Copies of this chain bind each other. A is one copy, B any other.
């Protein structure tokens, strides 16, 4: 299993659809179906982004999500921590005090400060986190935008707008593609 989970992958992919303010206020179901992932699973992810101040939620029908701040101020590290809760790269078990020559009574010099192995892992974790802190939703969106044709964002907006409008209309009428 990977350290950075599918929850983060899903979260970032769906946050990217919110970068363009013209997207309005899609629901988590809208985003999940636009992205082709499980709606009920995504519904467990977005409340965490809301509590972290990454996204703003609106209640009731016509409710949904929008970014709580400019995408250039939302780092990937922020998203990862919001969804996974600052999961450490390494969990030190404090093995150092269990050396047999200590006979179950480790001296102070052996247990004070941070374990030497733990320190190495903490530096690696710091390097990883600093790398993630340099990337933002805006920087990822820019990469995607460079690859996609100009027509793509328009198509996505159309899909979203049609879906939001259909919340209270097309459910009582027919589906767009007929019965």
User: Residues of A with Cβ closer than 8 Å to B?
Assistant: 1-4, 6, 8-10, 12-13, 33-37, 76, 87-93, 95-96, 98-101, 109-110, 112-113, 116-117, 119-121, 123-132, 135, 140, 143-144, 147-149, 152, 155-156, 159
Closest chain-B Cβ to A154's Cβ sits at a distance in Å of 10
Q: A36-B99, A101-B155, A116-B143 are in contact. List 7 more A-B contacts (CB 8 A).
A: A4-B90, A12-B117, A110-B148, A113-B147, A123-B131, A124-B128, A127-B131
- What is the copy number of this chain in the assembly? 2
Chain B residues with CB under 8 Å of A88's CB are: 2
Q: Is the pair B2, A98 in contact by a Cβ cutoff of 8 Å?
A: no
A24 to B108, CA, bound (A): 28
Show 29 residue pairs from A and B whose CB-CB distance is below 8 angstroms, ordered by the A residue: A1-B1, A2-B87, A2-B90, A3-B90, A4-B90, A6-B91, A6-B93, A10-B95, A13-B95, A13-B96, A13-B117, A35-B95, A35-B100, A36-B99, A36-B100, A37-B95, A37-B98, A99-B156, A100-B159, A101-B155, A101-B159, A109-B147, A109-B149, A116-B143, A120-B132, A120-B140, A127-B128, A127-B130, A128-B131
A135 to B156, CA, bound (A): 47
Interface of chain A, helix or strand or loop or mixed? helix
A159 to B9, CA, bound (A): 50
A161 to B76, CA, bound (A): 52
Closest chain-B Cβ to A113's Cβ sits at a distance in Å of 8
